[in-house]
Amino acid sequence: MKGELFILSSPAGVGKTTVAEGVVKEVPKLKRVITCTTRKPRKGERDGVDYYFLSKEEFEERIKKGKFLEYAVVHGNYYGTPLEEIERELEKGYDLLLVIDVQGMRQILKSRKEAITIFLLPPSLEELKKRMEKRGDPPEEIKKRLETAKKEIPAWREYDFVVVNDVLMEAKEDVKRIILAQRLKSYRFDPQRIKDPALRELMGL
């Protein structure tokens, strides 16, 4: 059975990448989609693990070839989702968790209305600022990202689910529950699990 695409969004600094990594480690047959960017790696980030880090020229060449499911310019850098990787893993039956911003979510829903969307909120704007400071973002960058956050947060109503990342472990568990509950929906039920002939007949299998 083909997998499903889950989209996790939040303003920068809320912790969507950390939540996503925790969920992927604990949920079987769930993979995180590695997206592409032209921004420079932060300390500790690795190519092919956190992002595929591309030059502007490489990124624009892939745009011309239609290699992205969606792409956008955020804070002066390109970000994009590789189309081939998504199609390949969904066909294998993996559920995919895609960590992107509001712009990206809106683009994807134009062609993939079936995607399940989750919005991650900070407990407060003050806490969001503290988290950015803690990870070492420069003051000007923090100011810019907070202004962007104020524009993105009202988009929470466009999402299927909303989770507040106050306590990291609780936020991670909430996202896990959303994904696991989705797998229990009737359209994803595998009839091969029912072996009893009488029960199969009652179920119309």
pLDDT tens digits, 45-78? 888 888 899 999 999 999 999 999 989 888 789 9
**Across residues 159-188, what is the average pLDDT?**
95
Structure tokens at 34: 């590695």
Amino acid symbol at 48: G
* Domain formed by 5-34+93-202, architecture: 3-Layer(aba) Sandwich (3.40)
> Does pLDDT of 43 surpass 90?
no
**Per-residue pLDDT tens over the stretch 95-134:** 999 998 898 899 999 989 999 999 999 998 888 888 888 8
93's CB contacts (< 8 A; 6+ apart) are 1, 2, 3, 29
pLDDT of residue 12: 84
pTM of the predicted structure, to 2 decimals:
0.84
Euclidean distance between CA atoms 48 and 8, whole angstroms: 19
pLDDT of residue 178: 97
Euclidean distance between CA atoms 33 and 94, whole angstroms: 11
> Does pLDDT of 192 surpass 90?
no
> Does pLDDT of 90 surpass 90?
yes
Beta bridge partners of 81: 70
Task: Please compute, for residue 129, the number of CA atoms within 13 A of its CA located in the half-sphere on the CB side.
Answer: 10
pLDDT of residue 91: 93
